[in-house]
Structure 1
Amino acid sequence: MSPLTRRVAAALYALGLAGCTVGPDFHRPNAALPAQWTASAPQTPGSRLVPGDLDPRWWNAFGDAELSSLVERVATANLDVAMAGSRLLQARAARRMAGAAAEPAVEGTTSYLHARSSQHGLVDISGLNGKHDYDVWQPGLDASWELDLWGRVRRQLESADASVEASADLRRDVLLSAMAETASDYIRLRGVQAQQAIVRQNLELARRSLALTQRRFADGVATHLETAEAAAQVSAMEAQLPGLENQRVRLVNALSFLLGQPPGALAAELQAAAPIPPAPPRVPLGLPSELAERRPDIREAEARLHAATADIGVAVGDFYPRITLSANLSLQAMRFGDLDSWGSRMFGIGPALSVPLFEGGRLKGQLALRKAQQQEAMLRFQRTVLGAWHEVDDAMSDYDARQARRDKLAAGVAQNQEALDNARRQYVAGATNFLDVLTVQTNLLDTQQAWVTSSTDVSLALVGLFKALGGGWETSFPVASNGRAGTPVEAATPTTSHGTKATRTE
């Protein structure tokens, strides 16, 4: 390389490093959220929502070891999470491909040609006048590098980085949904098992009432109507058991599916009944300002906006000239043995300039498209933040209202139990008819089932609240090289990593 060529290359390289970056710089959008949740949180006496830091491992708040085990296992076994992890690996691979545009490209080539030129054609480069065959051996290296004078390539890399972050947040969203669905199905399963226990307990009481009525009928004290009513009540309660068993089987299958296992795989593990996981006495909510850092859908929307902003810079860069520095170093000889001769060397180096002159409006249309896409991404971000705020507010209201309903039903169960005990004593003493006993027992069963349903709903509402707050993915579950989630050892720092990345300008 001649001194002049080296100076030109050095000057072009320095110009590339000092070049500007076209297009708008990304600035993190403001998430319009309240300063405190307490302004919108329900204020009824039964509310247990309090200020404080949200526990990322929210499933442990229920104090159920089986629930915690299932939720943590779903991260490594769930197929939806695995597919989202695979999409993240694809995004990382695409980022590496985009990054190649910023680096020089070097290609090794080797060619061999056996030919004969025409005796009546143009000049024979072999010098044999077309009378003999000849060989041409030519190994070499070709290199090219686009000088990113205007920052177009840097904007492409910025967009690719943001797309990787969006894919990571999408995976977190899938993971959060899978964990919440696992917790919800498990709570429903325990609720169904509690319903089965209540029906069996009441069925035993109904059978005792039927036996008592049959004895009284044999003694001539009870009527045939009372005996038929007692038998009908037994049949009605027995009819509830197949439906509840079907619900139990389906929920076990749903949990097995979430863990990537065949139907019934968890049947033995979940066969024994257990109490409905209770809500804790206090539920810290965290700060609204943390929602934009914690909720994966908000983080994804922000990353998509970042990518759309960078794409505008790419579109603007297409209006500017492109300078590509290329070089070739090779050997050429008509005999293989001459390739090591100094005279066989050949090289070429120099810049190439490409200037867009007429594109038929393509570049302007592409720029308008990118700007419109950025506007859509901004609106999507605003909608996502607003939707998250609504979800949290609705979830707090649901949690508070369901607690109040459960507490009222608990009092009703106690009152109906007392009423049934009194009615049975009065019936044995002959002070009332059997219809009153049936009515009170039916009311007790209905109230007990309503209380179980309400208790289940309270815990489900809390799961919904935790999901709305976006917690759960921060403490665990990295992506392994195969796209599957790994063991829960990763400690993420979303505020620092995401915030720094979002505010970075190229």
Structure 2
Amino acid sequence: MRLMTFRTAIAAAMLVLVGCTTIGPDFQRPVVVLPDRWSVSAVQTSNGKDLSNSDARWWTVFRDAELSSLVERVAGANLEVEMATTRWMQARAARRMTGGDAEPSVGASASYQHARSSQNGLLDISGLNGKKDYNVWQSGFDASWELDLWGRARREIESADASVEASADVRRGVLLSVFAETARDYIQLRGVQAQQAILRQNLDVARHALRLTQIRLADGVATHLETAEVSAQVSAIEAQLPALENDQLRLINALSYLVGRPPRALENELQAVAPIPPVPPAVPLGLPSELAERRPDIRSAEERLHAATADIGVAVGDFYPRIALSADAGLQAMHFSDLDSWSSRMFGVGPALSVPIFEGGRLKGQLALRKAQQQEAMIGFQRTVLAAWHEVDEAMSDYKTRQERHDKLAATVDQYRIALENANRQYVAGATDFLQVLTVQKDLLATQQALAVSSTDVSESLVSLYKALGGGWETTFPLAISVSVPTELAETPVAAGNGI
């Protein structure tokens, strides 16, 4: 009775050790050093508004249904996103494998063997002295469980959990990147189309002026110089259109690629001219302290640091003894008919202890490696935070600068329009020559094109600002995917034996 009580106490103590002891350092979230407030003078903001309360779908601030549709399709069909999702799924599968190693394992087996033992050997389980063949029938099961006395397995699971979170944040970072790339390509496309529209409008004006000049030349009012000047301007405007048309096709192909479609797949959808998506009057920035919670790269760097810290515990655990409980039971008989008899039973149960005595410095080297990897992960986290801070500051400054330039160009265009109207009136009244009209018209065209480019730049800089702030990655889109090949790609034959 006393012996049973003692064994029970020992078992209870071991279970307490299994549940409580955890070796190695515990992870502490690193302190993020950021300013109390952003430099609000760098960008017009909605002061006091918390970004976490705003719409995570930042692209909707442009109020462009086509852009929103493209982003939704990119989320579900982009191949980079699907690759990142499969890597996240791999991390989850690896976590399940790690967790399974810490649980008891149970297996079953059954076998049959027709054999003969050696007459000159040392072992003859048949008792026939190697003179006859014999049969061996066997069945049973076995179980084993390594007691996690020191918490080594729990540190492995902790590291795997952190790796899963890091992989999920990497996927969110990919989502954010492809959303930003989609928005930039779309805005550039509309900017190119705006430049094309400006050129065509000016081309119509220039051609009309050429016809009038030719009529005036025939009437002896205009000179050949004026006609040549107008004709040259028509050709100069026409020469700019092919490059813009090529830019339009390139951007349509870029968007087609982002949604996982072949070249020109979106040509019919996007070739119709639409305005450049305008920016909102105010941008909610949130607080700098929220940056570490929003940016996927910072979150991923923190989880990598967490995993590296847990790996130190795993390395420390290799120095400690390992105890495993094992048991097996089964049946063995020379004849199948005897397999179910009580005398055919066999079993074994007992603990196994392994203690590292001499490893040639391997364990110490592994622990030193894990500590160095943790230091590297900490430096990587600090670098990521600092780079994010710089990126946000530069994005705000860039947004402000481009807004100011856009406002100046808009005022310049208005002044050139007034100047062109006055030049036309003076030319009709005979107070000036047509060269002055052409000069003002050229300046107006150049400034209009610069304004279109500036409008594109402002909207693009807002996309960069949202990307720097880490918006749009929240749990808006599902993590599960169904990898599919577009019909156009599936019809392409692939030669066998190409090593893919």
1:339-382 Cα shifts (integer Å, max 9, x gaps): 11111111111111111111111111111110010001001111
- Cα distance in 1 for partners of 2:376, 2:122 equals 61
- Cα distance in 2 for partners of 1:73, 1:456 equals 23
**Residue 34 of structure 1 aligns with which residue?**
35
**Contact 2:18–2:151 (CA<8 Å) still a contact in 1?**
no
Pair 1:346-2:346 in alignment:
yes
**Residue 502 of structure 1 aligns with which residue?**
none
For residues 381-460 of structure 1, what are the structure 2 equivalents within 5 Å?
Answer: 381-460=381-460
For residues 311-350 of structure 1, what are the structure 2 equivalents within 5 Å?
Answer: 311-350=311-350
**Contact 2:42–2:397 (CA<8 Å) still a contact in 1?**
no
- Cα distance in 1 for partners of 2:483, 2:107 equals 31
**Residue 148 of structure 2 aligns with which residue?**
148
Shift of 1:96: 0.6
- Cα distance in 2 for partners of 1:43, 1:153 equals 50
Q: Which moved more, 1:239-248 or 1:217-226?
A: 217-226
**Residue 467 of structure 1 aligns with which residue?**
467
**Residue 373 of structure 2 aligns with which residue?**
373
- Cα distance in 2 for partners of 1:449, 1:182 equals 23
**Residue 498 of structure 2 aligns with which residue?**
none
**Contact 2:137–2:335 (CA<8 Å) still a contact in 1?**
yes
What one-letter code is carried by the residue in structure 2 that aligns with 1:206? A
Shift of 1:8: 8.6
The alignment covers a number of residue pairs equal to 479
**Contact 1:42–1:397 (CA<8 Å) still a contact in 2?**
no
**Residue 230 of structure 2 aligns with which residue?**
230
**Residue 275 of structure 1 aligns with which residue?**
275
What one-letter code is carried by the residue in structure 2 that aligns with 1:405? R
**Residue 257 of structure 1 aligns with which residue?**
257
Return structure 1 stretches of 4+ with deviation > 4 angstroms. Answer: 2-9, 481-484
- Cα distance in 1 for partners of 2:362, 2:11 equals 34
2:416 aligned counterpart, secondary structure: helix
- Cα distance in 2 for partners of 1:23, 1:123 equals 48
**Residue 120 of structure 1 aligns with which residue?**
120
What one-letter code is carried by the residue in structure 2 that aligns with 1:403? Q
- Cα distance in 1 for partners of 2:63, 2:121 equals 91
**Residue 498 of structure 1 aligns with which residue?**
none
TM-score (norm 1): 0.91
What one-letter code is carried by the residue in structure 2 that aligns with 1:28? R
1:107 aligned counterpart, secondary structure: strand
**Contact 1:89–1:483 (CA<8 Å) still a contact in 2?**
no
2:182 aligned counterpart, secondary structure: helix
- Cα distance in 2 for partners of 1:124, 1:186 equals 81
1:184-213 Cα shifts (integer Å, max 9, x gaps): 111111111110000011111111111121
Shift of 1:119: 2.9
What one-letter code is carried by the residue in structure 2 that aligns with 1:42? S
- Cα distance in 2 for partners of 1:317, 1:43 equals 52
What one-letter code is carried by the residue in structure 2 that aligns with 1:435? L
**Residue 503 of structure 1 aligns with which residue?**
none
Pair 1:52-2:49 in alignment:
yes
What one-letter code is carried by the residue in structure 2 that aligns with 1:310? A
2:333 aligned counterpart, secondary structure: coil
What one-letter code is carried by the residue in structure 2 that aligns with 1:434? F
- Cα distance in 2 for partners of 1:123, 1:393 equals 80
- Cα distance in 2 for partners of 1:122, 1:70 equals 77
Stretches of structure 2 lacking an aligned partner (at least 5 in a row): 485-500
Identity of aligned residues (%): 71
- Cα distance in 2 for partners of 1:131, 1:215 equals 124
**Residue 177 of structure 1 aligns with which residue?**
177
- Cα distance in 1 for partners of 2:188, 2:120 equals 91
TM-score (norm 2): 0.92
- Cα distance in 2 for partners of 1:154, 1:483 equals 34
What one-letter code is carried by the residue in structure 1 that aligns with 2:334? M
**Contact 2:315–2:370 (CA<8 Å) still a contact in 1?**
yes
Shift of 1:131: 2.1
- Cα distance in 2 for partners of 1:192, 1:123 equals 87
**Cα RMSD over matched residues?**
1.8
For residues 289-308 of structure 1, what are the structure 2 equivalents within 5 Å?
Answer: 289-308=289-308
1:329 aligned counterpart, secondary structure: strand
Shift of 1:222: 1.5
